[in-house]
Amino acid sequence: MKCFYHSDRDAVGTCKSCGKGLCPDCAVDLTKGLACRDKCEKEVANIIALIDQNIQFSPASGNIMGNMRRNTFAQASFLLTAGAVFFLTGWATDHILDIPGLLGIVFIVYGCYVLRRGLKLPKQ
C-alpha cells in the first residue's frame, strides 16, 4: 500500500480515523493508533479515549463464564417452574393433553435441556 499523500512512498500503517495509508512522514503515532499529521489527530485521540472508556466499563472477562452459568440456571428454573404450573393446571382440570398440559410438557422438556446445557459449562 502506498501513502495517500505521497504516492511514491510505501505506507507504514493506516489512519485510525479516515483509514488512509500513511508514510512515516505523514503518520503521527498516538500510542494506540496512527493519525494523519495535522489532520486527524484530534479525531483519533477521541476514538482512543472512547475505546479506553468502553474497556473500563466492560465486565471483567474472567467473570463471564460464571455469569453465563448463573443465567442458564435461572432460565432453567423459570422454564421448569412454568412447565410444572401449566402441567398441573392441565392435570387438575383432567385435560392433560389440552393446551395447558402440552405447554407444560414442552416447558419441562426444554427446561431440562437448558439445565443439562448449563451443567456442561466450565466452572469458573
Domain boundaries in the chain? Answer: 13-57, 61-120
Within 13 A of 48's CA, how many CA atoms are on the CB side?
Answer: 15
| 35 within 8 A of 17, measured Cβ to Cβ | yes
Find, among 68, 37, 35, 30, the residue nearest to 52 by Cα: 30
- Residue 94 is predicted with a pLDDT of 81
Instruction: Decide if pLDDT at 122 tops 90.
Output: no
Taking the C-alpha atoms of residue 42 and residue 33, their distance in angstroms, rounded to an integer, is 12
CA distance linking residue 101 with residue 104, whole number of Å: 5
pLDDT number for residue 93: 87
For residue 22, is pLDDT > 80? yes
Least confident of 24-28, 102-106, 118-122: 118-122
At 20, the pLDDT band (50, 70, 90 cuts) reads very high
Whole-number Å distance between alpha carbons of 11 and 99: 67
